[in-house]
Amino acid sequence: MNAAFWDKLQKVDRRVLYVVLVVLTSIGLFLKAEIPVAVDDSSADFYAKLMKIDPNKPVVVQTDWTISTRGENMAHLECLLRILMTRKIKFVYYSATSDAPAFQVATDVIRHINEERKAMNLKVYERGTDYIGLGLFPNAEGANESMRNDIKKAWGGRRVRMPDGNETDIFQTPVLKGVNSMGDFGLMVVVTASDTIDFAVQRLNDKVELTGMATGVIAPGMLPYYQARQLKGFAGGLKGCYDMEYMMKHGINHPEEGGKIYVNAGKIVGEVPPLGSGKDLARATQYYADLHIALSLLIFAVVVGNVAMFAQKKAKKGAE
């Protein structure tokens, strides 16, 4: 093949690549399958932490994403809510980002997970008695700083409408009764698509056990925090979320029928059970097989591009 062919190959219309991506990712959605996976240490630690925390202590969920990162963050939050609701752990949630829809989006996810649970005849979470929403804090640094200093002052004076219609001070509700400082929370989880995890680490990692669920863009930046134990675990990107769903189904070091162990995590000492009830394999599972196809396409594109470049150079040299 001559240099012109390789040159042409390198200059193929970008729209051809776009069509290939759309077609392949569409086909990939129909290949939904439970793919065996070696879970990341960070995901295993996060799952183990969520399954082991005291169910009588509430969890703080800071949810800083909007639909723009739905592909990853919605799967993250759904996964987290399923675990908390199945373990009957109460939670308080808020958004600390200047992205205005963040809080509304999280509220909508709680609503649809409740609808899912209702359809499965499982306990539905009620506002005020099982969870509380605090709204949007556009200045994440300020929000986390005041939480670090005094949670009662930071959230003081806020009320929530209880199921009986009465407005009640949030610290008198079953969710936050007995909470006087960040240390009284069982765990804090930051579900994020931005650098708000940095602010949380800066201000809260020594006050509460901190974990995270972040997009693939943010996740590599969480590795140093995890290595230094500032984060006790995290689910990074779609893979991290699939890890979580896989562990929700199979547990960690947990022997199933025939003694088969699906998730061997040498780092986790002992056994962590699967979730047991409710949905386990869900959105991330639906997308994970497709991710294989999309990544393979990218690797293929890079390889072809490079082969074409070298072949063109060689052909040119040959012609000279």
Q: Hey, which residues between 71 and 110 contact another protein (CB under 8 A)? A: 71-72, 74, 95, 98, 100-101, 103-105, 108
Which window, 81-89, 148-156, 174-182, 183-191, contacts another protein (CB under 8 A)? 148-156
Min separation Cβ 181 and another protein, Å? 13
Of residues 276 and 307, the one with the C-beta less far from another protein: 307
Distance CA 44, CA 263 (A): 9
User: Closest Cα partner for 232 from 75, 51, 38?
Assistant: 51
Distance CA 49, CA 234 (A): 10
Distance CA 242, CA 42 (A): 13
Interactions with another protein, residue window 26-65 (CB under 8 A): 26, 28-30, 32, 35-38, 40-41
Number of residues that bind another protein (CB under 8 A): 111
Of residues 4 and 38, the one with the C-beta less far from another protein: 38
Min separation Cβ 11 and another protein, Å? 8
For the beta sheet containing 59-64, the strands, ordered from the edge strand earlier in sequence to the opposite edge, are 131-136, 91-95, 59-64, 187-192, 210-214, 234-236
Residue 255, interface with another protein (CB under 8 A)? no
DSSP bridge pairs for 236 = 214
CA-angle at 24, arms to 22 and 30, nearest 5°: 110
Residue 180, interface with another protein (CB under 8 A)? no
Residue 1, interface with another protein (CB under 8 A)? no
Among 121, 257, 269, 318, binds another protein (CB under 8 A): 269
Min separation Cβ 49 and another protein, Å? 18
Among 3, 53, 122, 309, binds another protein (CB under 8 A): 309
Q: What is the dihedral of CA 130, 117, 80, 135, to 10 degrees?
A: -50
Do 248 and 275 contact (CB within 8 A), yes or no? yes
Do 53 and 185 contact (CB within 8 A), yes or no? no
Which window, 50-58, 82-90, 237-245, 274-282, contacts another protein (CB under 8 A)? 237-245
Among 8, 177, 292, 314, binds another protein (CB under 8 A): 292
